[in-house]
Amino acid sequence: MIPPSVIEYLKKYSLSHWQIESNKLSGIENVIIVPAISEYKNIINLLTSIVEMDSKYFDSTLVIFVINNIASSSIEIKLENKNTLSLLRSIVNKDLGTGISIVEKILSSGIKLGFIDASTIGNELPEKNGGVGLARKLGMDLALSILDFKSSNKKILVCLDADCTLEKNYLTEVVQNFNKRNLSAAVVDYKHKLSEDEKTNKAIICYEIFLRYYVLGLIYAKSDYAIHTIGSTMMCDYESYIKVEGMNKKKAAEDFYFLQKLAKNVQIGKINETTVYPSGRKSWRVPFGTGQRISRYLSNTQNEYLLYDPKTFNILKKWLEVFYSIVNVKADIYLNYAKKIDKYLFDFLIEQNFELSWNNIIVNSYSDKQIIIQKKRWFDGFRTLKLVHFLRDNSFPMKNMFNAIDEMLNLIGTSSYPARIDTSIPAIEVQEEYLKILRELT
């Protein structure tokens, strides 16, 4: 029986035009949702990776591919999506006459598979907001309607991307971590796949260093939003999904905003016992993110070896200490503290209408506990990033990537430093050493 909260959510937020095509929808406790546009070869690679996983939870897991495009997408995209739908339909219909080896492998593995056609004529995503956010939302919303709520186990919604591969213990660790640790939401560890091309590898390493350095800075500052915001790493139980009113429809950064909503409402855990391997390819699919950053690096249009000045995170750390240690005082007291920490922190808070926001928090809170919750929601991940950018633009410009990392490592008190001769861009082997250290710390 579907819980009232799910019925209410679906009635209020879901889109009724689409449906899941699958051959078996019973006993589902875990759903892996994969948005995909023009991803035929990558889907075969992902499916190959899936069937090679530990099969312990295959019988209670459904993988849903959301094959999507908009009406104005190119003929090439629509044709590849058509071929992908044909492949997935062969699996769902148990058609062993295709001659495609992955069809037989999936059918013999025991994993359950379904798909949503958001691609063919009449089923396309709307032009206005058709993209990765809406595609994820379609899959996650429809997943709610097929979960086995009779089971006492966690009902988990897992996000992946079509260009990923997975460690063999991936599904087992995800399910066991959620159930043993009673997780509401989590991100799983990740490592971008390297390429055979050295220049592409440099782009991948540079970008992952950028991502991990930022999270390390937030960890140092003790921010509640020190989370890797990568779509293929995020997951939550169905209660948390409903609590945050579901996935957004953004065409890019949907992962950032979804995880931020989760972080405001539940604790986000980290699953370190397994790894997802996103592709480090260049891509046109989203206007920013991994694909765009790899393309930008390869085009050599700007210096990519820059990071935020560590002093920025030191200011953030001092501000968060003040903001959370003093529970209930007037706005001008917070602002006076901010001015003592850094003039530009004060300027930022003025620009963000801190006084008005703080007064609203006081008026709408009935206890110190509520005030702390409202503080966390006001100074969220997006406002944190805004502060970092404000300080970058007004006081602390970006620094050489490797100098910045050395300073950050010194701030957090680690003695692990890769050996390098000068302050410029070191050899790729040294860059890999830096990345290895950041992977261990974040």
Residue 287 and residue 291: Cα distance in Å, rounded? 8
Please say which residue of 265, 281, 297 terminates a domain. Answer: 281
Cα 348 to chain centroid distance, Å, stands at: 27
**Closest residue by Cα to residue 84 from 51, 48, 55, 43:** 43
> 323-376, pLDDT tens digit by residue?
998 877 889 999 999 999 999 999 999 999 999 999 999 888 888 889 999 999
In this predicted model, which residue has the larger pLDDT, 299 or 253? 253
Statement: residue 277 has pLDDT above 60? yes
Question: Residue 338 is part of which domain span?
Answer: 310-394
Picking from 394, 410, 428, the residue at the C-terminal end of a domain is 394
Distance CA 29, CA 57 (A): 9
Do 320 and 376 have their domain in common? yes
Domain count of the chain? Answer: 3
pLDDT value of position 434 = 95
Rounded distance, CA 179 to CA 265, Å? 19
Residue 107 lies in a domain: yes
Tell which residue, 240, 238, 241, has the closest CA to residue 2. 238
Q: Are residues 167 and 105 in the same domain?
A: yes
Other Cβ atoms less than 10 A from the Cβ of 327: the count is 12
Residues 349 and 389 in one domain: yes
In a domain, 203, yes or no: no
Task: Tell me, yes or no, whether 124 lies in a domain.
Answer: yes
Domain-embedded: residue 219: no
Tokens 């009902």 belong to: 155
Beta strands in 156-278 (DSSP E): 156-159, 165-166, 185-190, 234-237, 268-277
So what's the pLDDT on residue 290? 66
Which pLDDT does position 281 carry in this prediction? Answer: 54
C-beta atoms surrounding 277 within 10 Å:
18
Mean pLDDT of 173-181: 98
CATH number at residue 142: 3.90.550.10
Assess whether pLDDT exceeds 90 at residue 302: no
Domain co-membership, 418 together with 373: no
More confident residue, 197 or 69: 69
d(CA 74, CA 418): 47
Instruction: Please tell me the number of Cα atoms within 13 Å of 111 on its side-chain side.
Output: 26
Do 51 and 153 share a domain, yes or no? Answer: yes
Q: Is 109 in the same domain as 177?
A: yes
Q: Which two tokens stand for residue 151?
A: 């089971």
Please report the pLDDT score of residue 423 as a whole number.
Answer: 66
For the segment 5-62, what is each residue's pLDDT rounded down to a tens digit? 999 999 999 888 899 999 888 999 999 999 999 999 999 999 999 999 999 999 999 9
Higher confidence at residue 243 or residue 201? Answer: 243
DSSP string, 340-381: HH-HHHHHHHHHTTHHHHHHHHHHT--SHHHHHHHHHHHS-H
Residue 327 pLDDT: 72
Cβ atoms 33, 132 nearer than 8 A: no
Amino acid at 205: I
One domain for residues 274 and 166: yes
Average pLDDT of span 114-140: 97
| Statement to judge: residues 327 and 419 lie in one domain | no
Domain annotation covers residue 341: yes
Using the 3D structure, point to which of 235, 265, 281 is the last residue of a domain: 281
In a domain, 330, yes or no: yes
Residue 97 clears pLDDT 90, i.e. is over it? no
How many Cα atoms within 13 Å fall on the side-chain side of residue 279?
18
Whether residue 383 is contained in a domain is answered as yes
Asked if residue 76 and residue 184 are part of one domain, the reply reads: yes
Residue 6: its H or E element: helix 4-13
Domain assignment of residue 43, yes or no: yes
* 340 and 240 co-located in one domain: no
Average pLDDT, the chain: 93
Q: Which of 83-87, 124-128, 303-307 has the lowest mean pLDDT?
A: 303-307
Question: Within the chain, how many helices (H) and strands (E) appear?
Answer: 18, 11
pLDDT at 118 over 80: yes
- Coil, strand or helix: which one is 22? strand
- Same domain as 157, residue 186: yes
Tell me the average pLDDT across 137-166: 97
* Contacts (Cβ under 8 Å, ≥6 apart) of 108: none
Same domain, 413 and 390: no
